[in-house]
Structure 1
């Protein structure tokens, strides 16, 4: 096990505060990242404040994680020490049910293991997220950071990015498509950039007139 430091909500009413805890020792197919950047998602606030009545405190949020690989288990094949890598909202699943075999582990029939506010599948210990100095996850749930992608700006792709990219790809958005983005917030601005990048004609619908200039600057038509 390793000592970790981070920030946690010790209760739903308390502010985030420094917190020390233990990360598990690496298993054969685990990767350790020393965390360089972690996005701040509104989901983190919901969990820290127990808005959905399922939080377990102390809660260390953070699921938009970019870091450097500093240790790998003996069975790891896709990562080497020094690689830039990323972790999103899951760190494990059963890897055997039809959904896991097909690919979308988020639909694991035995439930995927969330990056935080969950329980490790093997030992039942709580999972703690990216508001910390390092993290350990199963290799299959760690992503390589493409060369040329600025790690400082990449973290939100692990949640806001995939949340908007997935429907755009599902509906085969491309040249000739017309896309409306409702709201220009954390997800909305990502949706605009991605849809524009795919060649669509993009309209932003917002109740905040002051955001019009930002929408146009991001490429909205």
Structure 2
């Protein structure tokens, strides 16, 4: 707590969350989550520069491929869908496919809590990722609603507070499940399962919840990012 580095790290995390939430209000959730793969490149460089860890040829190659995948994702992604009214936003979120998907994510997260320890943490990691994607889905709804209404009308709406509470619960459950997964299984398995799931599931969220235009060509850079993020 006395370390300036701890404070700097904490502030960096809060800034990254704020930027991520802002990005979700203007860009497709499927693209925003896939771009997170670039964080592995930043992590590797930080470990090399600040901690003196050695970068192997495989690590460097993976960094280049992840960067290429993110760039291709950005270049190939079409124009994001923009919601200009609450009616179109509510129509998208409360559609049958959206409700089914969000319910499935919540059920997977809940069930993984009970069966996870029997399988060395893999289900817990998938459950944590499901809770994370559910939280991101709710945050996307809130930030888009904010861009339409503004802070005053958003905070004065009882339904908005319901979504804020639900998103907070989902994000908190993510942390609990993820930490429990690390205790129950091998870290390499947990990280791989969590990373792959948090990139793949937002593709379904983008398509079924927010009606994003996801072409099959986008699966190529997504596969590259997942493959070399492990």
- Asked if these proteins are the same fold (TM beyond 0.5), I'd say no
Q: Which has the higher contact order (CA 8 A, sep 6+)?
A: 2
Task: Choose between structure 1 and 2: higher helix proportion.
Answer: 2
TM-score range, shorter chain: under 0.3
TM-score by length of 2: 0.23
TM-score by length of 1: 0.24
